[in-house]
Structure 1
């Protein structure tokens, strides 16, 4: 049976604080607070669960938040097999100021991962992957984890016959791309650093994405925020405009798009509809507070409003 495996090597408890007129250097009063288990792979699993897709969460958990994460995943009926570590899983703080329309992220670096802990995780990952699975590798890693980790995991997954989706940045993305994952989902800033993009015009983005496809990556989804997204595959080039929606939180929009890619693979969506569906997922997520996961109903309510078309290049 096909399984979706999500890898979160640096999970975080996401604490979202609503503060009116957030000001540096003064006492700020919180009007509302919420706590969500997070980390990009976990966020993907939360969305997939809302889409009635089971997944297996892998990665590292430790310290004071470990039990909270495991209880919350169990409550959501999401399977997991995290590798226990000695140090504490980190906390990320998001400050939302709706009066000023600002979103401020304060992210911790993450715990020190011992060599023995990393080796245990690698064994768990290899044992979990099998032919036909979809493996999603997303997010950052703590400073103690080598930057070629995703490249190694992609190689293992491909040897097992699994499809791979990579969503990372900087060195993690550069090293991961060398292993030729099936799909990557960079945003415009990540793509710019990956290929030294000189300008962020549609033409430049499409040219860069096409070169990545020629290199051996089957599909490249570039998220452009309010501008929409560009999707380049072995079949063609597709573009869609962004949806104008009320933004409550920008956290997790990219993770929802990654979940949409996996869901589209499982349902054999066309490239054009995949792009529409992914963009609707991102839009549905920014309308929610914290790192709350969008539902299939919320996405379906938006998907027909996404204007996507094939571009001739």
Structure 2
């Protein structure tokens, strides 16, 4: 079973504004709502790839029913803990004239100890041998900063593989429990090492240091510059490919979904990166946090293959 964990889901509200200006009245040309949060986005993509998952985390307030209705509509299994506080709203402003994308993300709800204990019990019950568990995204401030380390430890004790996509303290603490794979972007990696990692060589050097800690699979996304995939045996770099960009939200999540897809389908390192880069490229051509489809990814594969090399 595939389990995706979203501890701080959000309703993503995307405002399309033709020429966004600060300090004045702006009028939208379009608006859309998408259920979001990194783990939820992974489940959405996996469903489009024909892979079922169980989405778990916390939901409450105004958006709870909307979330569950949309997950049911998409055929995504879910079992979120009901909380007293309200699930957040994240607002995305897309300036189509100037090609500027602005995210305004809320902090998230207060999670009580009882609610957290209920989640831990559910999570422990659901994890089993052979599962793939995706732990991704930020957390509400009321949760402990080592929560991902705790969840990785539980999953590993049950014989499950874990994929971690987090930043800052969450990533640093999660690394201590040696997840099977991680998916930072170059900015998150720079933050982790407290230095600017502005080229492929520096990124690979930093990932080698992570590998020395016992983590053998590292996928680093670099936006339009491409992506690097480092494994125990080989390292590959795929240059970015030019595509029309409509939204950058969810591109990293689709690459996490690609890691899951690659594990399920036993792809080698090179083809894992090809598929992941294709997922990222396909996703940025879509509006809001719309999930990419397999045929959209496949349309990118040939271009990616022309721009990948072993390093």
Calculate the TM-score normalised by the size of structure 2. 0.98
Contact 1:92/1:107, CA 8 A, preserved across alignment: yes
The match for 1:308 is 308
The match for 1:180 is 178
The match for 2:86 is 88
2:128 aligned residue (127, 130, 133): 130
Displacement of 1:214: 1.9
1:106 aligned residue (104, 107, 113): 104
Contact 1:197/1:208, CA 8 A, preserved across alignment: no
2:290 aligned residue (289, 292, 296): 292
What count of residue pairs does the alignment treat as equivalent?
Answer: 309
Deviations 1:247-292 (A, max 9, x none): 0000000000000000000000010010010000000000000000
The match for 1:264 is 262
5+ unaligned residues in a row in structure 2: which ranges?
A: none
SS in 1 for 2:212: helix
RMSD of aligned alpha carbons: 0.7
Identify if the C-alpha distance between structure 1 residues 191 and 28 changes in structure 2 by more than 3 Å, giving closer, same or farther.
Answer: same
The match for 1:118 is 116
Displacement of 1:236: 1.4
Matches within 5 A, 1:131-170: 131-170=129-168
Q: 1:54 & 1:270 partners in 2: Cα distance?
A: 22
Contact 1:197/1:204, CA 8 A, preserved across alignment: no
Matches within 5 A, 1:156-235: 156-235=154-233
Q: 2:120 & 2:90 partners in 1: Cα distance?
A: 25
Displacement of 1:197: 3.2
5+ unaligned residues in a row in structure 1: which ranges?
A: none
Q: 2:69 & 2:260 partners in 1: Cα distance?
A: 25
The match for 2:42 is 44
Q: 1:29 & 1:193 partners in 2: Cα distance?
A: 36
Contact 2:186/2:220, CA 8 A, preserved across alignment: yes
The match for 1:72 is 70
Q: 1:162 & 1:243 partners in 2: Cα distance?
A: 34
Q: 2:85 & 2:142 partners in 1: Cα distance?
A: 12
Moved over 3 A (4+): none
Displacement of 1:198: 4.3
